[in-house]
Amino acid sequence: MATDEEIVTAAVDAAESVVFSRYSRSEIRDLDVTVSFEAGDLEVDVYLNVPDDTDSERVAEDAALAARSAVDDLLEP
């Protein structure tokens, strides 16, 4: 069984991977990935600010989905 810390780390890594696969670090003004895992409840919030890009909200949503998927994979028996 994965620890809470391993779960949170996997989620953050997956979310950041999605964001950095679509933008260079210099394009990103602000990125905040917040993950909490308590009593089996996972919460993921991704805030992404990329000036002059209308897709950043969709990328943030994709990053949050990737984070949840990474945790699901980690918790599969």
Half-sphere exposure in the Cβ direction for 72 (13 Å, CA)? 7
Whether pLDDT at 77 is above 80: no
Q: What is the pLDDT of residues 43-66, one digit of tens each?
A: 999 999 999 888 999 999 999 999
Q: What is the pLDDT of residue 47?
A: 97
d(CA 44, CA 67) in angstroms, rounded, equals 7
Nearest to 37 by CA among 63, 66, 68, 16: 68
Nearest to 66 by CA among 3, 5, 4, 12: 12
Q: What is the pLDDT of residues 14-42, one digit of tens each?
A: 999 999 999 999 999 999 999 999 888 99
Q: What is the pLDDT of residue 18?
A: 98
- Host domain of residue 42: 4-75
Question: What is each CA distance from 63 to 21, 27, 59, in whole angstroms?
Answer: 10, 16, 6
**pTM (predicted TM-score):** 0.92
As for how many domains the chain has, the answer is 1
Task: Give 13's pLDDT tier (boundaries 50, 70, 90).
Answer: very high
Domain harbouring 71, CATH code: 3.30.300.100
